[in-house]
A and B are shown apart, each in its own frame.
Chain A
Amino acid sequence: MVGEKHLPDEFVADIRRYKLRGSSGKVNLALDHLPDFTSRPGDGVHVRGDIAIAPSIDYLERAYDDAKYGDFSKHPYMNVVIPSLVDPSVAPPGKHVMSIFVQYAPYHIKEGAERWPEKREAFGDAVVDTLAEFMPGLREAILHRQVLTPWDMEQQIGLTEGNIFQGELSLEQLLFQRPAAGFARYRTPVESLWLCGSGAHPGGGIMGSPGELCAKTMLGERAV
């Protein structure tokens, strides 16, 4: 948005090497009814919070292996919530919403990110098929399915490379180096331009901290 010509070369170089590469996808399901988990059928606290599909360390590692070589996980890690159990207003009476966070779905698939639309449904199938292993009646209960790939997140939400944290949360991109050394305190090389998003310290997630800290810094420095 700013344009390189208004920025110092070193800052441009740092931002160019700042790593985004989104690695997560999202699948939202509209369900006719809530099927049972094989391991623990019925309603209860176990389905009213976060549900993790992560049977073993090696399972997670294999899911990551697929992503390393530019493919979505055949058997992904999933974080499932069913908000309609605690807030019935999100679905018609008796129906349910299932929100599935999926790891891994790399933005840079080996065919090229722009080819994601062709793989979107295959990705959705992998998610539903894997979850159905733990919840056998799932397929029959689905009324509608929405699949969001990292490419979709970039196109629809504006997240660069579909990274939900606005940049990898790796050590070399945290603390005084987020997003670039010398510009970790919400200031930018452009006067009166500040950063307050997940790409600033302390990073992404539903924290509100980058926004709060940026605002406090601005007020503290009497910038506004």
Chain B
Amino acid sequence: MLLIKCPWCGERDMVEFTHGGDATKVYPKDPNATTSEEWHDFIYLRENPCGEHVEYWHHVAGCRQWLKVRRDTTTHDILTTAPADGDLDT
């Protein structure tokens, strides 16, 4: 894994990005109606698969946009990328 394809900037060196963690986690819709179990799940629990992982990256030293990436945690291959609120499979 050396090049990450930013949806806005194209393929860029990984040093321009920071990892944002598990992208299957969604911020609770209504914080006031969220139970402490749901907060616990959102804040602390992580999918941590050996294989394909859907995760956020931040193009922090580039366009500063967040993106979503599907990456293999055993080979570091970047499989697909999309805007953070986009769909990885289209």
Whether A and B are associated in the same complex: the answer reads: no
Q: Interface residues, chain A, CB within 8 Å of chain B?
A: none
Q: Interface residues, chain B, CB within 8 Å of chain A?
A: none
